[in-house]
């Protein structure tokens, strides 16, 4: 039985342009291996994250057309933060354009933004922890 989601691919037009965007946001490059023929194995993730993004340079018309459209126009990437306000301000200072003001939902504080290729992301600080409780109330099974 599989135990975790290790990677997912994000189609980009160019490896170096993608790195130039993600690294200043605080992502780390965990691997950048030349596979020959212009292909690279490039893994990025926020520090400490278990799941990684595999930057996949689109090849051909079909893949090129899918850049920025992998989520079908909806938010499909969720960047979790532990300090929403500080990260929101930092991202704005780095030129990230948010679609609207931050809002509070039952699941947390959230704001939608897009990367340079049109993928829609949530910057999100969840109300509930991974254990199912809120910051003020431990969830079931908490000691």
Q: What is the pLDDT of residue 137?
A: 47
Q: What is the pLDDT of residue 130?
A: 54
Q: Which two tokens stand for residue 31?
A: 């691997």
Q: What is the pLDDT of residue 101?
A: 97
Instruction: Divide the 143 residues of the chain into consecutive groups of 10 and give the mean pLDDT of each group.
Output: 94 98 97 97 97 97 97 96 97 96 97 97 87 44 39
Distances (CA, A) of 23 to 3, 8, 16, 19, 79: 28, 18, 10, 6, 14
CA distance 110 to 65: 29
Q: Which DSSP state fits 6?
A: -
Q: What is the pLDDT of residue 128?
A: 79
- Count of H helices and E strands in the chain? 3, 8
- The yes or no reply on domain 1-67 and CATH 3.10.180.10 is yes
Which is it for strands 120-126 and 108-114: parallel, antiparallel or unpaired? antiparallel
CATH 3.10.180.10 residue ranges of the chain are 1-67, 72-136
CA distance 113 to 90: 13
Q: What is the pLDDT of residue 136?
A: 47
Q: Which fold has domain 72-136?
A: 2,3-Dihydroxybiphenyl 1,2-Dioxygenase; domain 1 (3.10.180)
The pTM (predicted TM-score) of the whole model is: 0.86
The 3-state secondary structure of 38-78 reads CEEEEEEECCCCCCEEEEEECCHHHHHHHCCCCCCCCCCEE
């Amino acid at each position: 039985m599989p135990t975790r989601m290790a990677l997912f691919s994000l189609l980009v037009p160019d490896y170096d342009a993608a790195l130039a965007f993600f690294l200043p946001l605080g992502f780390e490059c965990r691997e950048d291996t030349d596979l020959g023929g212009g292909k690279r194995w490039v893994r990025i993730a926020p520090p400490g994250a278990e799941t990684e993004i595999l930057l996949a340079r689109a090849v051909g018309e079909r893949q090129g057309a899918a850049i920025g459209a992998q989520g079908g126009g909806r938010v499909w990437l969720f960047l979790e933060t532990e300090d929403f306000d500080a990260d929101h301000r930092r991202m704005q200072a780095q030129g990230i354009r948010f679609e609207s003001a931050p809002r509070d939902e039952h699941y947390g504080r959230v704001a939608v933004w897009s990367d340079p290729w049109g993928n829609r992301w949530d910057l999100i600080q969840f109300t509930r922890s991974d254990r199912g409780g809120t910051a003020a109330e431990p969830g079931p099974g908490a000691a």
